[in-house]
Structure 1
Amino acid sequence: MWTSDKPLFIKGGRILDLVTADIITASRASAIRDVPGKERLCASLDIRSAPLANEGFATYSFPRLRMLATLKNARDSETLPTEPHSWHILSSQKAAIDTLPSVGSDAGLFGPTSMLAGYIAFFDAE
């Protein structure tokens, strides 16, 4: 039973706490605004592997000065990459790896690439 010290958080798919709802809305808007800069950053660093959402993190390692210069350029530039590049989707879940190619995605288990330092899976491998 919900009480005053443990109020209902979501009802009918809507967040009831207005402060929380506003923070989530602002966070989503910021993430959308950041897309062009992230596109520039990934293209400049040749980052092409990423995990499925909510499955884990891909970690990369770049020389400090190169990373700093690339971050500054991605932030300050308005130019988008001329060609979108393809992505390799990482997953520890065999079902996802088996399904993604059927929708045109390149997918596979973590495997080291030039700058991909690691993969932190949220789930044990199937």
Structure 2
Amino acid sequence: MEMLIVVAIIAILIAIAIPTFASSLNKARVATDEANIRSGYASVMTDVLTDDNYSVEGGTTGEATYKLNKDGSVTKVATADQEAADPYTTVGKTDTATKVAGVDAGPWDKGAGVTYVYDYSDGSITITVA
């Protein structure tokens, strides 16, 4: 009888621990995604500022579209539909709006790609995770 009670207590503890562990694991994956998106943001800003066509005086207009790669670098693409050579896909899922590097990245699902659009006219950047 005592052994049956011990097994029942262990089963209850496991039933409580599994959802908690799964939630913590997803939080860690979302944090990884946020760090990688932030790294891509820095790569975009570096590319924009070292671009020979970029002008602080506002000589450059239009937008530049970038895709995040698995290694943290970004690839400049002609259109938002074009894929990067080795695209990064998110490893976590978040249902809440998320700010990354001060820019709203919104919620995303697992396996989503990351696109950055830099607007030369006002210096703003849009992050899309879809």
* TM band (smaller chain): under 0.3
Higher CA-based Rg: 2
Q: TM-score, normalised by structure 1?
A: 0.28
Q: TM-score, normalised by structure 2?
A: 0.27
Higher relative contact order (CA 8 A, sep 6+): 1
